[in-house]
Amino acid sequence: MEMWYTEFHTDTVKWSIKVDKSIYTDKSDFQRIDIFDTDEFGRVMTLDGLMMVNEKDQFIYHDMIVHVPMATNPSVEKVLVIGGGDGGTVRELTRYKTIKRIDMVEIDEMVVEAAIKYLDYTSNKLSDERVNLYYEDGIEFVKGLKDEYDLIIVDSTDPIGPGEGLFTTEFYTNCYNALTENGILINQKESPYYEQTAREMKRSHDKLSTIFPVIMTYQYHMPTYPSGHWLFGFSSKGLNAIEDLDKDAWNALGLKTEYYNTDLHVGAFMLPNYVKELLNA
């Protein structure tokens, strides 16, 4: 008997992977969590039937969410990760010796527990002594904070379920206030390709534009997310991801990366015309 995981990418588009073995399935207070093994993508974690992370392409997502802001401001010392329960974003951050504190606020403790037990490839640095784990709602966590973090990374699910409030003007404003003078906010900016995610991309962009003086968008190729073409938002109080990129400083760190490099860093901000038009509309 064959077992297949099928995900709806739109109401009329489905995408499937053959499953070798189901490893874990449970329901938390927030979402359904599944972990399974596949031939093509290795070990996979899905939440509510949506791909979160898998062994084969996770390096692309985690390289781009972390190294782009870190190469723009190598002086970052205090970082807040909101979501990110699989641990991959924290894993990349811990490679920087200059980072002194990493606070990760994940609403769902069961995601972290499952990642620690079954996804060693992403969760293996959650025990780093600089990492503090908070099992709270990120929306509440940032309320009232002032000048606290040099970098905030929103490594969230889509704007449905517990992740919905992470795409609001109030949340982005609280992040702005929580950032230090050279602060950077990186957020999940969905995909321009299909209508629903393009709408969310545009909404996120418009809201951030009313709050941050610098608003930039960069792209990466994520084979297992709908359409494979995904975006992160780079918003800051002043730093420009291209003009302030410190290529020499980043390259001198000697970090080995499979996807990110400082040429790609610049290229990732060069958006296709249809994406520019959607964002500027």
* Residue 226 engages ligand SAM in binding (rule: CB under 6 A): no
Beta strand pairing call for 50-54 and 149-155? unpaired
Instruction: Give the one residue of 79, 114, 139, 268 binding ligand SAM; rule: CB under 6 A.
Output: 139
- Residues numbered 46 to 85 that lie near ligand SAM (CB under 6 A) are 47, 52-53, 61, 82-85
Question: Residue 194: what residue type?
Answer: Y
**Is residue 137 near ligand SAM by the rule CB under 6 A?**
yes
By C-beta, is 61 or 121 nearer to ligand SAM? 61
Among 157, 174, 187, 236, binds ligand SAM (CB under 6 A): 157
Q: Which of 54, 156, 191, 204 contacts ligand SAM by CB under 6 A?
A: 156
Burial 137-172 (b: 16+ CB within 10 A, else e): bbbebbeeeeebbbbbbbbbbbbeebbeebbeeebb
Q: Position of tokens 């509510």?
A: 48
Distance, CA of 235 to CA of 217 (rounded, Å): 8
> Contacts with ligand SAM in 99-118 (CB under 6 A)?
105-108, 111
> Considering only residues 116-135, where is the footprint of ligand SAM by CB under 6 A?
none
Min dist CB 155 to ligand SAM, Å, is 5
Expressed in angstroms, the distance from the first to the final Cα of the chain is 49
Is 159 a binding residue for ligand SAM by CB under 6 A? The answer is no
What span, in angstroms and rounded, lies between the C-alpha atoms of 269 and 216? 7
Is the CB of residue 126 less than 8 Å from the CB of residue 90? yes
Select from 43, 35, 126, 45 the least CA-distant residue to 81: 126
The pattern of x and - marking residues 235 through 254 that bind ligand SAM according to CB under 6 A reads --------------------
In the bound state with ligand SAM, the residue whose beta carbon lies nearer, of 61 and 176, is 61
Chain residue whose CB lies nearest ligand SAM: 83
Q: How many CB atoms lie within 10 A of CB 15?
A: 15
On whether the CB atoms of residues 207 and 263 are closer than 8 A, the answer is no
Under rule CB under 6 A, residue 233 binds ligand SAM: no
In the shown chain, the binding pattern of residues 183 to 222 toward ligand SAM, with x for contact by CB under 6 A and - for none, equals -----x----------------------------------
Catalytic residue, chosen from 48, 155, 244, 246, is: 155
How many C-beta neighbours within 10 Å does residue 277 have?
Answer: 11
Q: Where are the alpha helices (DSSP H) in the chain?
A: 58-72, 88-93, 109-118, 120-123, 138-141, 169-178, 195-209, 247-252, 262-267, 273-280
Coil, helix or strand for 38? strand
Question: Catalytic residue at 155?
Answer: yes
CB of 271 to ligand SAM, least distance (A): 19
Catalytic residue positions?
155
Residues that bind ligand SAM in the complex, under the rule CB under 6 A:
30, 47, 52-53, 61, 82-86, 105-108, 111, 137-139, 155-157, 162-163, 165-166, 188
